[in-house]
Amino acid sequence: MAAVACVVACMAFPAAARDGTGPVPENAVPLGYGGGWNCALGYRVDGARCAALEIPENAYATGRSYGPGWACRRGFQEADGESCVPIPVPDNAFLESAGFGWQCKRGFRRDRDTCTRIDLPSNAYLTDALAGPGWACDRGFAAAAGECVPIEVPQNGYLTNSDRGSGWACERGFFATDRGCEAIDVPENAFLDMDSRGTGWRCERGYAVSHESCVAIQLPANAHLDRTGNAWRCDRSFQLSDGACVLGR
């Protein structure tokens, strides 16, 4: 009996109209498929009719069935859910592309609700970095105490593009000291190798390091130079014993 009563009640009231079915009311648009209707833009379903939305100035209808049904135009923001007020844009700033906020013009940076001019020193240029001073020094200069001072490059050195360290490095064949760039002393039977540790040179194949020189490797019988060319090892089937390569057993 309860189920029958529910069916009768549902037929007695226009419940179907609340989801856009039934007779098409004023300010509604019929659907072209499966029947039914939708309220026109600026209206919302209210029982069996389409009620007009109260859209404030500088707003537009969204057509959404949730929320207030309207949104503020670009350059405006919602206030108390009832109106759209202009987004305050300070001097030397402009609205962002999306229109929800603002950003400072080039040469200025944000300081709370204002844009302050970036103090650009001599021999510097503006950057777009949000962190830091907003500028960087020209090539050949380094930042020091808010200024850009010349980098003193020693003889046989060259400028680097790194913000770290001295800002210069030594040419190939030289190494950095407190006095500048000093020449690497390459011994006989050696060649420059800037990747080597400490010395900056490497012995030719067939020679081994001995103090600060390269001496010829004396190969024992049944031995050969290893892959580096600066040491030796016993041939296959031979093993090292007292400096000699003897046949293994």
Q: Could you read off the pLDDT of 49-79 as tens digits, one per residue? A: 999 999 999 999 998 888 899 999 999 999 9
* CA 69 – CA 26 distance, rounded (Å): 19
* CA 107 – CA 95 distance, rounded (Å): 16
* CA 26 – CA 44 distance, rounded (Å): 11
CB 214 within 8 A of CB 203: yes
pLDDT of residue 10: 38
Q: b/e for 206-236, b at 16 or more Cβ within 10 A?
A: ebbbeeeebeebeeeeebeeeeeebebebee
* CA 215 – CA 248 distance, rounded (Å): 29
**Helix locations, the chain, DSSP H:** 2-12
Task: pLDDT tens for the chain, 249 residues: list them.
Answer: 444 343 333 333 333 334 567 889 999 999 877 778 899 999 999 888 999 999 999 999 998 888 899 999 999 999 988 999 999 999 999 999 989 899 999 999 999 999 999 999 999 999 988 888 999 999 999 999 999 999 999 999 999 988 778 899 999 999 999 899 999 999 999 999 988 777 899 999 999 999 899 999 999 999 999 999 999 999 999 999 999 999 977
| C-alpha separations of 32 from 25, 45, 166 in Å | 16, 18, 74
